[in-house]
Amino acid sequence: MLDLHDEICANVQRALQEDIGSGDLTASLIPVDKTLQATVISREDAVLCGMQWFEACFVSLAADTEIEWCAKDGDAIHAGQTLCKIKGNARALLTAERSALNFLQLLSAVATQTRRYADAVAGTRTVIVDTRKTLPGLRLAQKYAVTCGGGVNHRIGLYDGILIKENHIIAAGGIQPALSRAREIAPPGVFIQIEVESLQELQEALAAGAHMVLLDNFTLNQLADAVTLARKQAGKAVILEASGNITLDNLRQVAETGVDRISIGGLTKNIQAIDLSMRFAEPE
């Protein structure tokens, strides 16, 4: 479970500071005590995510801002749907508008992309997992969005899990020495995962006692063979994760090989923001 309160505050303060700087010059055209209302409309089908970041942008500038939501994080939304209604100080609404929408559009895009992948493997044993390929400074926000879309978080960073990749194996002197050393230094509760690039390496990792293996760039036939080998040698205790060259086009086939997890870097990178619009009006 991600603890987001401090992260949201930090994200929003950085976003507002870089946008406002020494002051919003254009907003100063508006009388200081003027009140406006606004609605946020979705222009496309999506999965909503980012409500807390959106709200914090406005409340940080005007604590008495009123926001009434018509949907919640994780909900499927549709083109033309009203997402929320806002009422508050006109200057605050205009100043926070861009930052608030940036968060909502970005995080909704991550949740939407994740939902596509999660739906594609529905009915199999496979879950969709994110990676560390996130936008700098927004990792927890994007990982939260992944969970709203039906995905599962991998390690948050380098500190809460051990993933032994090809270069680590080379530097440590091989698969067995790398796993042995990892078990020596791993804090309680920290998982150890090792990446392999062939069935021979998988067999070596299993023989060395690996419980969590990343199958990197395996073909469909190799993945099926890996599942058979792992179940025969280690039973259900070993967790197999597929990664590399996996798209929505071949995702279902990968899941049907029997792997436990598929990690997708594209959940949090190379995404297109959801098209949302904020429309202003005089208060009723």
Q: What residues contact residue 96 under an 8 Å CB cut-off, 6+ apart? A: 16, 57, 58, 60, 61
- Are residues 280 and 36 in contact, defined by beta-carbon separation less than 8 angstroms? yes
- Are residues 88 and 58 in contact, defined by beta-carbon separation less than 8 angstroms? yes
Per annotation, catalytic residue among 195, 201, 204, 241: 195
What is the maximal distance between C-alpha atoms in the chain?
73
Active site residue 160: no
Query: CA-CA distance, 222 to 180, in Å (whole number)?
Result: 26
Coil, strand or helix at 82: strand
The pair phi, psi for residue 116, each rounded to 5°, is -60, -45
Per annotation, catalytic residue among 216, 241, 260, 261: 216
Per annotation, catalytic residue among 85, 98, 181, 231: 98
Per annotation, catalytic residue among 87, 116, 133, 181: 133
Structure tokens at 232: 């025969």
Active site residue 133: yes
Active site residue 195: yes
Dihedral (Cα; 240, 243, 247, 249), 10-degree rounding: -40
Per annotation, catalytic residue among 165, 181, 231, 269: 165
- Are residues 267 and 120 in contact, defined by beta-carbon separation less than 8 angstroms? no
Pairing of strands 239-243, 35-42: unpaired
Look up tokens 């997708």; give the residue. 264
Sheet containing 82-89: which strands, arranged edge to edge? 66-69, 82-89, 35-42, 276-281
Catalytic residue positions? Answer: 98, 133, 165, 195, 216
